[in-house]
Structure formats: C-alpha cells, structure tokens
Amino acid sequence: SQTIHQWPATLVQPVGSPLSLECTVEGTSNPNLYWYRQAAGRGLQLLFYSVGIGQISSEVPQNLSASRPQDRQFILSSKKLLLSDSGFYLCAWNIYADSNYGYTFGSGTRLTVV
C-alpha cells in the first residue's frame, strides 16, 4: 500500500537557524510531490511542487527552498528562518496518470520559529 512519511512532527527553531523537513513516499513510483503551508486559522498555501527528480516549481517567493534528490523524497529547506515561517507544513503526493486522484497528505510538521 502507498504511504507517506513526514518528519519531524513538531519543531521549534530560533530565528536565523536552518531548516530541513523531509517527506518520503512508499509504494508508488514517480509521484507528484507537494509542500503546503498552513498558517494559523488560514487555508493551505502551495509552496513547491515537483513532477520528477530534480524538478522543482516554486509558487511563492520566499526564503524557503525545496529539493527532490530521489524519486520518492522531497525536502523543504531554509538557510535562515524568519518568524513568518512559523506554521503547519504539509507534504502531499498524487499520481498524474490518475487525474481523478486526490492528494494523500502526510501528517504534517508544526514549525514554531522563536
């Protein structure tokens, strides 16, 4: 069966520190991968998506970056965190070939920048 793992679940980081959030998918090949951010009391904002290894599309300019070093691995990074980076980060995947398919989401990472 297909599963998605996202870690860590909770993270508290000081302003100016680096960030690395990881997401891996099991049980499927060549998934589309996504990073979303959900600020407190708000909707989901698409940050990055990837349709293949090394292919990253950015939706929102910011101090975050993403990488896809392997087919089923998606990493969200920052060199220096800002207070405004606090939020709930969700990784998701789907299969392009099945256009009716919804997202499968990870369990999320709650990031607090202090």
Which region among 11-19, 21-29, 61-69, 89-97 touches other proteins (by CB under 8 A)? Answer: 89-97
Which of 14, 54 has the CB closer to other proteins? 54
Q: Which of 5, 13, 22, 44 binds other proteins (CB under 8 A)?
A: 44
Pairing mode, strands 3-7 and 55-58: unpaired
Tell me how many residues contact other proteins (CB under 8 A). 24
Token couple for 15: 């302003």
Element (H, E) at 89: strand 87-94
Pairing mode, strands 32-38 and 19-26: unpaired
CA distance 114 to 33: 28
Binding site for other proteins (CB under 8 A): 32, 34, 36, 42-44, 46, 49, 51, 57, 59, 88, 90, 92, 94, 96, 99-100, 102-103, 105, 107-108, 110
